[in-house]
Structure 1
């Protein structure tokens, strides 16, 4: 089952179209989404909604409508690329970053959005309204929550009493057993993909579909996997291995997928930025 059309649009811009000026004609987008069985009418509705939400600006070039990424979309894509494709390789400084927030009890949707954004940046709930991460991402959190109705936001850097306390905090914030089981399952799936790509690599349109589906599948992982340092996970943890397999599969599909996008763009040339 393909991702939702809205997700496909962001994946296409994030992995391909951002590198050719961040703009595309509606007919180009229609052709690209058709590879995912998205009807033209649906593409038009989705793009109109994304424009209304401030993710795209439109302009006319002759009789064609051009959709161009806004600053809001560029930030979204930059943040997404950072979380999906990058993993922290520096030694852990043994400091925790803590976020304490206050959202009005009456605004349940805002609380859900705040929690989702914290999960995306690798924070886990140590206590109600108190989330922690071993990664230094307080600036990213501050920017992400600046659009939310947060009555109070405290951003702290702290240390625990020692290794035992660190391990206890990690086990309380994340279900490491369930997460590792999910990673093992994903490793097997990616191992099968790599074997298939090596023996019978997808071409053209199929490569584009495979690559978008691969990114869509993997970008759900950062919500659950905070990419904990080795000191905080059990021995035999496969998170980094899964990440490397994802990068390898993504690269194996690159040439054919990019060529298909380039052909679609040439047939309906994108305007100059």
Structure 2
């Protein structure tokens, strides 16, 4: 029966930890100062998360090393661990550049051919997860492909995981049947549907943003949900070259909507985040900040990171 379960084990789905990471990444911009747990509870409460669930999410994130807990008297606060500047910028740039259409394809494919014994199931799962993160997809069993030059990174992943029976090549296709075309590794029908749904779900919000009719509280929630939805696409689509896609491919329209709404909601969302933090520590509230997609692509995130390694928060749970 549900009533007999450990409430913490069922009340803290992985998305709660991811929510914590998204909020810190969007508005705390690698500040070295930790935030009071009470402030984070209130911020997460804007998304319908109860206090018990919010605190459990923080504890679990801390146990995984995604955040760092500190205590001062009876007050617990959470900050983020030090990581390299390159890691921070790479994570944000990947999300903000996705769909920009500024990549030139040379007509060749990166192919990873490998074998992992059936009994090494955990290794098989990890290989697949990391290859998908690099933008590859399975064309056949044990043959993964990407249109982009990622061979060195693929080879590093396979070596790191101890996959010895593997070959990584960059090659031009000579001939293939419809099912053997590398682009067949992706379900273009499903991808189109996902982009179409994204556009439909956020069309009304874009109009309200344009009209200035989104208040701070709604902006904080809506901007976070938008980022959560957008974050899925780079894991599903390696930003396939336009020459491989139908002329009416919806990614450019989806990216245009994302950038406009995400950037437009930034100021009011930052205002709400600062207001909630200020209820618990007025001195920290002015430090809250948002960045636009253009800021990230211009490299202005680097200016917000202290010299040396800066605190980092990424997609917790991924």
- Which TM-score band (shorter chain)? 0.7 to 0.9
Within the candidate set 46, 63, 66, 2:57 is matched to 46
Runs of 4+ more than 6 Å apart: 72-76, 143-147, 164-167
Aligned position for 2:294: none
Q: Work out the CA distance in 1 between the residues paired with 2:255 and 2:262.
A: 11
The answer to whether 1:180 aligns with 2:210 is: no
Aligned position for 2:31: 20
Distance verdict in 2 for CA 1:147–1:201, change over 3 Å = farther
Q: Using CA pairs below 8 Å that are at least 6 residues apart, which structure has the higher relative contact order?
A: 2
Q: Work out the CA distance in 2 between the residues paired with 1:19 and 1:91.
A: 32
Contact 1:17 1:24 in 2 (8 A): no
Q: What is the DSSP-based 3-state SS (H/G/I as helix, E as strand, rest coil) of the residue aligned with 1:36?
A: coil
Q: Scaled by the length of structure 1, what TM-score is found?
A: 0.83
Q: CA deviation at 1:84?
A: 2.0
Instruction: Render the CA deviation track for 1:156-179: whole Å, top value 9, x for unaligned.
Output: 3222227x7899534321111221
Q: Compare 131-140 and 211-220 and name the one that shifted more.
A: 131-140
Instruction: Render the CA deviation track for 1:96-139: whole Å, top value 9, x for unaligned.
Output: 22233443422334423332332233211122222111123345
Distance verdict in 2 for CA 1:104–1:171, change over 3 Å = same
Distance verdict in 2 for CA 1:73–1:115, change over 3 Å = farther
Q: Work out the CA distance in 2 between the residues paired with 1:51 and 1:9.
A: 11
Matched residue pairs, number? 271
Aligned position for 1:64: 75
Contact 1:204 1:257 in 2 (8 A): yes
Distance verdict in 2 for CA 1:225–1:37, change over 3 Å = same
Instruction: Render the CA deviation track for 1:4-59: whole Å, top value 9, x for unaligned.
Output: 31121111122122343374221221111010121222122111111111212222
Aligned position for 2:102: 89
Q: Work out the CA distance in 1 between the residues paired with 2:215 and 2:159.
A: 43
Q: Scaled by the length of structure 2, what TM-score is found?
A: 0.73
Within the candidate set 241, 245, 269, 1:233 is matched to 245
Residue segments in structure 1 that go unaligned for 5+ positions in a row: none
The answer to whether 1:29 aligns with 2:10 is: no
Q: CA deviation at 1:249?
A: 0.7
Q: CA deviation at 1:155?
A: 3.8
Distance verdict in 2 for CA 1:67–1:153, change over 3 Å = farther
Instruction: Render the CA deviation track for 1:139-161: whole Å, top value 9, x for unaligned.
Output: 55566667756455544322222
Q: CA deviation at 1:235?
A: 1.6
